[in-house]
Every structure is written in structure tokens, then in C-alpha cells.
Structure 1
Amino acid sequence: MEPFVKQEKEGKPILYTIANWMETYNGLTVGFTSRHGGVSKAPYSTLNCGLHVQDLSEDVVNNRELIAETIGHSFDSFTYAEQVHGKEVIVVSELEKGMGRTSRESAIQAKDAFITNEKGIVLCALFADCVPLFFYDPVKQVVGLAHAGWKGTVLNISMATISSMTHTFGSRPEDIRAAIGPSIGVCCYEVDEVVGERVKELLSVIEIPSEDGLNVLIAKENGKYMLNLQELNRKLLRQAGILSSHIEVTELCTSCSSHTFFSHRKEGGSTGRMMAWIGLS
């Protein structure tokens, strides 16, 4: 069953929430935006959440405010970073709360993963094909969010995030729930030999049997590969100790569904960004 469930209300942004998590765990808000229900003009129409594209800043901030209002959280709690396709994790506290929500200059710098155990903070990250990774420890009451493009994935940002949750808050991997959100699928993600070799190196380092890697990196006759980033991240989550039964994996491809989501690959780079979010109240 698809874990990301469409939430649609008249006059409001269209959102996708991890409904079963929110129904099970009180005070948890978690989900992913669509491209619909905002105020941005083409080619960023309409719910662009990225300040780093050539959209009007006031429209982006307006979109972010509309999302906050729709999910019922104060806009002051929304916290963003400047993402750099790395694997650095930051522990977000009251000091960082609200950073980056209205400008890039005020954002947390050079981070791609975020964890917190403080209520009233909504962690936010931006996507347009890369893989959003969501983490929740219901025992220690810790949430996390990571941005995993191919670079972050081969750097094993999932392991970095889980390790930070473990070392900072005492989380146990077997208690953590994880979800892999809407992103470009193996159906659409062709990569060159350079990327393919980096993925092969990772599979070798983490000792994934070669036959298990066949559904991650599929060779093509033109010398390129189709890359299944969602499945690769699922394998990395398992390697990090997350139970298979605690991993939710979307079937939504941002490229196939570019009518619903922004897709950097499908739209030639001139497009908006979705926002993934997670927080406790």
C-alpha cells in the first residue's frame, strides 16, 4: 500500500502525508508537498518551495506560509538549510528553529540531514527528484529528515543520520521507523558510467551480494545504467539496522508524475521544488 496519501482541501495546497504514521503517533506531522495549490507562476507553478530557483522570493515565502497553515503549525517553526548533496547532519535545537524560512541567507548552511527531539520544530528539506528520507523514533521521540540524491546516497547519508540519532539521543535502529518518499524511479533515472562506478563501489563496501545489486543498477546497451535510488536507500537502511517491517517505500516517481510533482530531470532543470517535512508537537 502506498504510504504517502494525498490530502486535498478546497483552496489549500495539495499535500501527501504518511497517514499511517500520523494516525498511530500523536503529535507527529510528516509529509511531502505536491506542485499544486500555491501562488508561483510558470515554470514554477504553483507550489514552488525553493528560494534558490529563479522564482519570486515573495511567492515562495507565501507558498511556505500556506503549507504551514494547512498542516496547522506555526510558520516560525519551519526550519531549512542550504543543501549541498553531502552527508553532514545537524542536531536542530531552539537556536536553529525557524532558520531559512524566509531567506537563503538565514538558512542553516551546508547540511543535508537534520534531527531533533524538540517539540515545536518542523524540519524541512527541498526536492525535485532526489530521495527524501524520513526518520521517527517513537521510543526516544526523535525525528529526522535527509536529502539523498545519488551523491548523498553513495555517501550513505542514511547511515550518518541514524548514527547521529543513536549517538545524540540514544535511539536504537530497531526502534526507528523510516520512509522513502516520492523521487525519481528506476523507470526514469538513467545515469552515466561515472555514477554507475560510484554505486558499484558503495555496493562493494557495504557487502551487498552482487545478485542483490542487480535491481539497483541495471546496465543498458548504450553503456549507461538505470539507477534505482529508492531501492538502494532501502538496502542502506536495512544495513544500518532498520527492520524491514519499519521501512515504508513510496511507489510515486516524480518524473513519471511531473503533472503532480516537480521533476528536475523531466523538466530540464527549469522547475520548482517540493518540500518534505517532519516535526513533533
Structure 2
Amino acid sequence: MAEAVLIDMFSTELSSQNCINLFLRKAMDIVGKHYVDSDPTVYIMYCQTFGCDSGDAREIFVHAIRSFQGLRKRVELISNSSIASTLYNIQQKLDEKNVSRVKIILPVQRTCLMKAFIDRLFTKVYQFEFETLELNSGDQMGHAANYQSGAQTITETQLQLVESDIQMFLGSLLVKGELTILKSSLIPDSLFLHGFTTRYGGISSIPALSSMNLYSSSKRRDPPAVVAENLRRLAKAVGFNPKTFHLVKAAHTNDVWIMGKKEPDRYDGIVTNQKGVTIAAPGADCLPLLFSDPVKKAFGAARSGWKGTVLGVAMATVNAMISEFGCNVNDILVVLGPCVGPCCFTLSQVEAKAFYDIDPQCVHQFESPNPKVDIRRATRILLERGGIAPKNIQDDLVLCTSCNQDLFFSRIRDGDNAGIQIGFISMRN
């Protein structure tokens, strides 16, 4: 597995070339001992605004690196004005090379602060190993403005500075592609704010996640901070509050959370009649569903993967609206969002049998070992059997997420690191 080394010299006030040489020599000794037979890229991060009394900071670093004649490693200097921007730059370089294992060499006083940044800017896809250097007072190693060093714990004030640094940097990034939202003509726009996102309008940079990815997980390289910034930009453009946003905690079941009651650990549907909240269902091949009742002013969102479809999550969401808010089945409107089509989705014959039992037309080439399955058709049939009038079901967003790479994310197409789009809905004030 490819590896990288990160030498953190960002917060150290370097007053002389000797001080730089001392720290780098100790760090390079560690690199030489640990990587005798391998060739990791070594990234040295430092601040653009270092005040050195012997010339330009970068030239001092370059001169110091050249002085290590025995070092046969690829060394890159990474310099920006903030820790967040520097780490983000390094993350992009790691992603380009598909590197996940990183050894960080840093002053012991910096450990807690660095871990706070790492927790927010990286996911568990990356494996970090920390090795610290403790320099005595004669080494003249200090700390950068705004970040107190020396403490082995991080204060609430420092955490706020970390958050502020990250938010300010991510907020400054240019959007990738114009925000594109697909809307339904069935849901009354005067009552409900709603839509289905596409992959455009965010800041995520990894190709499989670019650019409006709205989900972070241990299997994806997009960190929570980037996803939060994408959500903030979506909310600002559309007009909802990201602080009262609730995304389905998908579990491939038919469990539905009635907002206001205790939230389950996992569920595939949400229903509510509360103003001021936005609920959403994720989808990267799975089918996002939006529900609205303009009479009782209740609404819902559900995620219907193939397991959830068979288990009836769509009608479970409808029934929750009926039982909790007194909705009439004749008043409930259901919109089926973008999902994978039968052109690209197959199951084993045993698994496909459940869809064949719903309707033989939900399965193509049933006699083959891996029949093609139509999740969308099965969902519509189950909704109609449950009492939803055909005219109250909108199903014209028939673009296959896997086929349409230019518009949608797809896990089937791009694997576990694929981004996630959502269907969202809220009630207007």
C-alpha cells in the first residue's frame, strides 16, 4: 500500500536557518529509519507568513532539504496561509495518488491540535500514525499566532479556532458546476419546498464525489466538513435552515421515524408536520421518495433500496402519515426521484424472485442467473395497491443514475467512494 509522510512545521516560529535544519534533520532521520526499502512522498507543510530573519522562508526550506545529500525521497513543500488550506491541499495530493497511510512527524506540543484538524478534514479511509519530536528550549521552537502550543490537551477556544479556520477556508472555495435541482410539478410549491439534488453545485473535488456530495462515511474520502459546506451552500441557495436538516439513517428496512418521537438508531423513512425542519432521503442508485399531504400539511421522505422496496418502505411511510397525522390516502402525493434503472441493476435469481412476485414485469430476463430488476416499477405498483391513486404518483424522473454519469452519482458505477444525492422536502412558513 502506498504511503506518505507529513512533516508539520506549520506553527513553529523559525527564527533561523539553523533552527529549520535542526528540526528537519531530526524528522528526516525518522524517515530514513522507517522507510529504508520504500519510497514515500514526503510533504513538508509550513506557513506562508513565517517571519525569518535570514530571507524568504521557502528558500530557507529548499536550502535545508538540499543539504540532506543522503535523502533519496520525493519531497514537496506545501505552504498556505492557514492549516486547513494546507491540509486540504495535501489531501488532494494523497487522493490523486490513492494514498491512505500517512505518517505525521510533528512537535509533541502540536499533537492535539493536529488531531483536531485531521478528525474534521479526513475520514477513516485514511490511516494516520503520529510520531512526535520534543525539542528543548535551546532549539528555539515556538508557536504560530492564534494557536497556543505547549499544552497536551486542546481547549474549547482552540477547537473554535479550528472550526473557524476550516469553515473560512472551505467557504472560500469556488463551486464546481452550477447547482442543479430537479423539482416535481405534483407537489404544491406554494406549500412545500422540495427537490432532488444532482452532482453539481458543491466543492467536493474527488471525481467520484464531485461536486455536490451530501454524505460522509468511513468508506468515502469526503470528510464531514466538506459535506457540511456542501449542505450549507445548498440550503442557502434553496432556502432552508441546515441546522434543522434531518437525513434518513438508511438501514435497508421499512422502519419510519415519526419526528417528535424518540429517534431510532436506523430507519429508512421520516414523516412530520413540523414547520422549520427539512427532511431528506439519500440516493446513489437507491430510490429517494418524497411524500406530501396538502390537506393535513404533513410530509415525508424515504429511501427505497431493493431490500426496502420488497419490505414496503414506501407504504410504511404512507401509513405513518395516516396514523400519526390523520392523513387520507386519497390526499397523499408521492414523487419518485432518480434511481438506477433495470438497464444497470441486477440481482441474483433468488433475490429477484421477490420482485417477480410483485409483478413479473418488474424483472427482465428472469431465467438468467442475474436478472435485471426495476425498483421504480415495483415501488409504483406497491403504492397503488396500498391505495395511492395513480394520478397522485409522479414518476417521470426516469433518468438512470448509473447511466447518467454527467448528472448523478452512482455506487453501482463508481464503487463505495461514490457521492450521494438527496431528495429533500420542508413546509413553507
Q: TM-score range by the shorter chain?
A: 0.7 to 0.9
Structure 2 gap ranges (5+) = 1-174
Give how far 1:223 is off.
Answer: 2.1
Measured in 2, the distance between the counterparts of 1:183 and 1:10 equals 23
Q: Does 1:247 align with 2:393?
A: yes
What does 1:257-276 correspond to in 2, within 5 Å? 257-276=404-423
Partner amino acid, structure 2, of 1:275: I
Give how far 1:170 is off.
Answer: 0.8
Give how far 1:227 is off.
Answer: 0.6
Q: Does 1:278 align with 2:425?
A: yes
Give how far 1:12 is off.
Answer: 5.0
Partner amino acid, structure 2, of 1:51: S
Match of 2:269 in 1: 113
Give how far 1:27 is off.
Answer: 3.0
Measured in 2, the distance between the counterparts of 1:108 and 1:67 equals 26
Give how far 1:92 is off.
Answer: 1.4
Tell whether the 8 Å contact from 1:13 to 1:66 is kept in structure 2 after alignment: no
Partner amino acid, structure 2, of 1:153: T
Q: Does 1:187 align with 2:353?
A: no
2:285 alignment partner, one of 116, 129, 134: 129
Match of 1:58 in 2: 225
What does 1:1-281 correspond to in 2, within 5 Å? 13-18=179-184, 20-21=185-186, 24-42=188-206, 43-52=208-217, 53-93=220-260, 109-201=265-357, 203=358, 213-219=359-365, 222-249=368-395, 250-281=397-428
What's the CA shift string for 1:176-222, capped at 9, x where partnerless? 11111100011211211132123245x2xxxxxxxxx2321112563
Measured in 2, the distance between the counterparts of 1:231 and 1:260 equals 22
What's the CA shift string for 1:65-94, capped at 9, x where partnerless? 11101111111221124211111111113x
Tell whether the 8 Å contact from 2:284 to 2:410 is kept in structure 1 after alignment: yes
Deviates more, 1:32-41 or 1:219-228: 219-228
Point out the structure with max Rg over C-alpha: 2
Measured in 2, the distance between the counterparts of 1:73 and 1:134 equals 16
Tell whether the 8 Å contact from 1:183 to 1:254 is kept in structure 2 after alignment: yes
Tell whether the 8 Å contact from 2:280 to 2:302 is kept in structure 1 after alignment: no
Give 3-state SS (helix, strand or coil) of 2:330's partner: helix
Measured in 1, the distance between the counterparts of 2:393 and 2:294 equals 14
What's the CA shift string for 1:115-148, capped at 9, x where partnerless? 0011111001211000111111111111011100
Tell whether the 8 Å contact from 2:176 to 2:202 is kept in structure 1 after alignment: no
Tell whether the 8 Å contact from 2:288 to 2:423 is kept in structure 1 after alignment: yes
Aligned residues: 250
Give how far 1:259 is off.
Answer: 1.4
Match of 1:210 in 2: none
Measured in 2, the distance between the counterparts of 1:123 and 1:270 equals 24
Give 3-state SS (helix, strand or coil) of 1:115's partner: strand
The percentage of counterpart residues that share the same residue type is 30
Partner amino acid, structure 1, of 2:182: Y
Give how far 1:17 is off.
Answer: 1.6
Structure scoring higher RCO (CA < 8 A, sep ≥ 6) equals 1
Tell whether the 8 Å contact from 2:186 to 2:335 is kept in structure 1 after alignment: no
Tell whether the 8 Å contact from 2:203 to 2:212 is kept in structure 1 after alignment: yes
Measured in 2, the distance between the counterparts of 1:25 and 1:256 equals 29
Tell whether the 8 Å contact from 1:126 to 1:276 is kept in structure 2 after alignment: yes
Structure 1 gap ranges (5+) = 1-8, 97-106, 204-212
Measured in 2, the distance between the counterparts of 1:193 and 1:159 equals 25
